[in-house]
Amino acid sequence: MHVQARMAVRRLKSQATEGRTRLLISVLVCTALGFGPLALAQSVSGRAEEVPLAAAAPLLPAAAVNVSSSSYDSRSPGLAVSDKAGVHVVWEERNRIYHRAGLIDGWLPTRSVAVGEQPSVATDAAGLAHLAFVNEFGGNYEIYYCRWNGSTWSLPRNVSNTSGVSSSPRLAVATDGTPHIVWADNTPGYTVIYHAYWNGTYWLNEPIPHALGGAPAVSVGADGKVHVVWQDRDTPNAPYEIYYSLRDGLTWSLPEDLSDTPGQQSIIPNLSVDRVEAHVVWQERVDGKYAIFYTRGRVGLWSVPERVSPNEAEAYLPSLAVNVYRTVYAGWDEGQQAVYRQRAAGRPGWSACTAVVSDVQGVTDLHLAIDGRGQLHAVWAGRVSADNWDVFYQKLSSQLFLPMTIKQFASGR
């Protein structure tokens, strides 16, 4: 698939009206070339009152691409996007991790990275990809890490190094390039959540205090703080709840129960962080069916959880992405289709559901990601025959942001 560079220029001219108030509209003109269409950056300032506005003009999505295109089952896809190096798609196939990169001039050949499963991928500021996955070695499951330098992958490095079973890794990369990995580990005889990071020489790992359970997710803010969510339950027979903890420096906050529905099962959380707060989605049992729920906030201050999957169909495996303008995209599977909704920052309500893909043969494992230019990307696994699944990628939408600042000045000043 070739990605054509797009260029757009939008001019906003200043206006003045007579009377006590004059309206001045600042002009912003940007041109961007690269992987996917552009999004204009905001520039706001004001002496009396700043009112940032943003219009978003959706463009047509690109066609879906069969990335794996294999005669074997390709499942558990992961996705990372970069303004500098395109997209990176990973998946598991025949107990191996595979990778394919989509660059500005097309897709690179598929390559086998390592023996393993459950891949999680992220990119750093330089556009290089980082990968975490599970592999069984010497009779024990461990978490391994590889790094892509633009042409080849490094040899796998053991991150967990525990005596117990390590599983469900999730990876995020800080703005300074530091990779952070979380996973579930039963070394103490029960399942706890571990966190590890690369200090430039070796991996440091430890259990997150008071974090028991599984299915963790991680995101790192621009300030370097590490946000983690996971599922846990108070007793062996109790339903799962969704918990959150924040690492600020070397200190972890006490876990907070975000779902807070003791009579309902809340599982499989996902997480994304913007410059202000964290956004969390999860899968919750309601009236005998699973639905997707969402909350946002920070330590000690969270919004009331709200249901974002409106359809009668059961909703599974939520995904989440937030752009630089704090627009939230929540996606999930609904049996024969994958859908998403969006909500602008500071505005109530969600958009109508947008179908990513509909296929009567089956769709699962939707993952969303947003690059720095506002381009929304997705991967998923789709059934291509009765006994075969492939991994697909698509650019879902493009947005041209037209921000402006309104300044109000009283006449005679």
| Confidence at residue 137, expressed as pLDDT on a 0 to 100 scale | 86
| Confidence at residue 7, expressed as pLDDT on a 0 to 100 scale | 31
Rounded CA gap, 232 and 213, in Å? 4
- pLDDT tens, position by position, 358-371: 988 999 999 999 98
Tell whether the model's pLDDT for residue 43 goes beyond 60.
no
Please tell me the least confidently modeled range out of 64-78, 209-223, 289-303, 333-347. 333-347
| Confidence at residue 311, expressed as pLDDT on a 0 to 100 scale | 74
Rounded CA gap, 396 and 234, in Å? 40
Element (H, E) at 116: none
- Cα dihedral sign for 354, 121, 215, 114? positive
| Confidence at residue 55, expressed as pLDDT on a 0 to 100 scale | 40
| Confidence at residue 393, expressed as pLDDT on a 0 to 100 scale | 97
At 329, is the secondary structure helix, strand, or coil?
Answer: strand
Tell whether the model's pLDDT for residue 349 goes beyond 70.
yes
Residues 6 or more apart in contact with residue 200 via CB below 8 angstroms:
none
- pLDDT tens, position by position, 142-198: 999 999 998 899 999 999 999 999 999 999 999 999 999 999 999 999 999 999 999
| Confidence at residue 196, expressed as pLDDT on a 0 to 100 scale | 98
| Confidence at residue 47, expressed as pLDDT on a 0 to 100 scale | 30
**What is the DSSP annotation of 29-50?**
-----SSS---PPP----SS--
Please tell me the least confidently modeled range out of 39-48, 144-153, 309-318. 39-48
Tell whether the model's pLDDT for residue 54 goes beyond 90.
no
Query: Average of pLDDT values for 65-90?
Result: 93
Domains of the chain and any CATH numbers? 59-399 (2.120.10.10)
Length in residues, the chain: 413
Does the pTM of the predicted model rise above 0.75?
A: yes
Rounded CA gap, 68 and 75, in Å? 9
Query: Average of pLDDT values for 293-302?
Result: 97
pLDDT band (50, 70, 90) for residue 398: low
Q: Which residue reads 């997705």 in tokens?
A: 378
| Confidence at residue 399, expressed as pLDDT on a 0 to 100 scale | 52
Query: Average of pLDDT values for 46-67?
Result: 54
Q: Which long-range contacts (CB under 8 A, 24 or more apart) does 290-298 make?
A: 290/314, 290/315, 290/316, 291/315, 292/318, 292/330, 292/332, 293/259, 293/266, 294/328, 294/330, 295/258, 296/328, 298/246
Rounded CA gap, 326 and 324, in Å? 5
Query: Average of pLDDT values for 300-323?
Result: 94
- pLDDT tens, position by position, 194-233: 999 999 999 999 999 999 999 999 999 999 999 999 999 9
pLDDT band (50, 70, 90) for residue 40: very low
pLDDT band (50, 70, 90) for residue 138: confident
Cβ–Cβ under 8 Å, residues 302 and 311: no
Tell whether the model's pLDDT for residue 27 goes beyond 60.
no
Query: Average of pLDDT values for 227-253?
Result: 96
